[in-house]
Structure 1
Amino acid sequence: MKGPVHHHAYTWIGSGSDYGTDSLRRPTNAQFSTLSVAPIEPANWLLKSPKMIKGTFTEAAAALAWFEEQIRAYAQSFDSDYQKSEAAIRSHVDGAQESIKIQRDAVGGWWMNGGSSFYSVQLVACPNFFRLEYACPQPPG
């Protein structure tokens, strides 16, 4: 891997139809880099405008705290009663902790408003284990 791993933070909340339109979520779309919709492959966030980065974390604890904060901010809006529960939130946070520990992406996504909206929270490792060829959009600093 090139350089120390850090994580870029991304969120997206938007229309369920946009989320369900694969062509909007692929880098082959001419407008991909400027569209804020969450990409199909988490590493592809690194191909989008750096303006979409919500934060950059070099410390695992800070990245995890951000991830949990994002989930808790919207949990009561999730469609599934189970996904609103403390057990589900804890499970997502624990999974993110494991992913961060091994320097991988941490990803969460939830349907809201009866399926008309989708909420995505992602911490994308950079350099990315699966896409080493992607340049870092914004080095930590």
Structure 2
Amino acid sequence: MPTPHHHAYLWLGHGDLLVKPGDAHRRPGHPEFPSTPVMPLESADWLLKTPAHVRGTFAPPRDAAHWYVEQFTQHASAVTGSYARPADAVHLIRRLENRHDIVGGWWLTGGRFLSLNLIACTPHPLRPHHTCPTP
């Protein structure tokens, strides 16, 4: 059995694309779903998109947590309104060690939205039929 790991996904775009009109393009089965970079409605469904959307693959939870915190930090100054920062790296590592997905989303200036995701793979704990994306 392959080593359990997490795939990293990031979407940064105008919030209007999330509901253009409706959310059908964010559901498996819609013709745009595999190729659209907009995050899916269910986090595990990232695994059903084309492998081009994978921003990184991490077996060590420490590396995955570092990527997540680093990505948020790069965009933190543009976050608007009251928001929750992601958990500290130690908490993220514990969740990743237990094969949980890490999912976060923040509104940014200019009506943009940032989605950061670490999705468990090989297999996904809740969607074992979702196969790992391969390049």
Shorter-normalised TM range: 0.7 to 0.9
> Alpha-carbon deviations, 1:79-127, whole Å to 9, x = none?
12x43xxxx435365553332121111011001125x211000000002
Cross-structure match for 1:66: 67
For residue 98 of structure 1, what is the aligned residue in structure 2?
94
Counterpart in 2 of 1:118? 113
Q: Residues 34 and 104 (structure 1 numbering): CA distance in 2 closer, same or farther, change over 3 Å?
A: same
Counterpart among 123, 126, 132 of residue 128 in structure 2:
132
Aligned pairs for 1:47-58 within 5 A? 47-58=48-59
Q: Distance in 2 between matches of 1:63 and 1:38?
A: 18
Q: Is the 8 A contact 2:86 2:104 kept in 1?
A: no
Indicate if the aligned counterparts of 1:18 and 1:24 stay in contact, CA closer than 8 A. Answer: no
Contact 1:105 1:124 in 2 (8 A): yes
* 5+ residue gaps, structure 1: none
Change (3 A) 1:92 1:28: farther
Q: 1:70 to 1:130 in 2, by over 3 A?
A: same
Mark the CA change 1:11 to 1:90 in structure 2 (over 3 Å): closer, same or farther. closer
* In 2: Cα distance, 1:39 partner to 1:92 partner: 25
Q: CA RMSD of the aligned region, Å? A: 1.9
Select the structure that is richer in helix: 1
CA distance in 2, matches of 1:138, 1:92: 30
Q: 1:93 to 1:108 in 2, by over 3 A?
A: farther
Which deviates more, 63-72 or 92-101?
92-101
Instruction: With the length of structure 2 as denominator, give the TM-score of the two structures.
Output: 0.88
**Aligned 1:26-41 pairs, distance under 5 A:** 26-41=27-42
Kept in 2: contact 1:43–1:131 (CA 8 A): yes
TM-score, normalised with respect to structure 1: 0.84
Alpha-carbon distance in 2 for matches of 1:9, 1:75: 18
